[in-house]
Amino acid sequence: MENGECIFCEIAEKNLPAEIVYEDSDAIAFLDDRPLFPGHVLLCPREHYDTLLELPQHLTGSMLANTQLLARAVEAAVDAEGTFIAINNRVSQTVPHLHIHIVPRRRRDGLKGFFWPRQPYKDDAAKEAVRDAIEREVRKLLNG
């Protein structure tokens, strides 16, 4: 993707305006322009990666450290009781440049979208089959 096609690359390069709250050599954070609540921040790597799965390992540590930093700052700035931290990877992702949502939360704040319908396992065997499949995939990934 050319940078000119990606709004978050354009924001990172200061070609598009945004209300920036933090930046360093790896990342930039700015206010979401359609916030769930005031103080809703998006944290992006400066470099373009479509989703979390493409983020190289040398940036994973600073992304999580910056998430923690911004969650603390947002909570304090808007006097929130907590935060919701979220990443859409492909499904429901409307901007294909990795971004971490840092959303201030308060009890009874009306954010009902997170009462997701739950899908129970059919039985213990079905649960064990999924557990085993994921464990095997993790082993494959770790063993290259």
Q: Which stretch in 34-42, 54-62, 91-99, 104-112 sits in contact with Zn ion by CB under 5 A?
A: 91-99
What's the sign of the alpha-carbon dihedral 67, 70, 76, 79? negative
Closer CB to ligand 5GP, 31 or 69, in the complex? 31
> Taking CB under 6 A as the rule, which mask of x and - marks residues 92-131 in contact with ligand 5GP?
xxxx------------------------------------
51 binds ligand 5GP, rule: CB under 6 A: no
Which residues have C-beta within 8 Å of that of residue 17, sequence separation ≥ 6?
11
**Which alpha helices (H) appear in the chain, and where do they start and end?**
7-12, 57-78, 124-142
Q: Which stretch in 48-56, 61-69, 74-82, 86-94 sits in contact with ligand 5GP by CB under 6 A?
A: 86-94
Closer CB to Zn ion, 6 or 70, in the complex? 6
| Distance (Å, whole) CA 18 – CA 32 | 9
CB of 41 to Zn ion, least distance (A): 17
| Distance (Å, whole) CA 82 – CA 9 | 29
7 binds ligand 5GP, rule: CB under 6 A: yes
Which residues have C-beta within 8 Å of that of residue 5, sequence separation ≥ 6?
none
Burial letters 59-68, b for 16+ CB under 10 A, else e: beeebeebbe
Binding-site size, ligand 5GP (CB under 6 A): 13
Site residues for Zn ion per CB under 5 A: 6, 8-9, 48, 97
Site residues for ligand 5GP per CB under 6 A: 7, 18, 30-34, 42, 88, 92-95
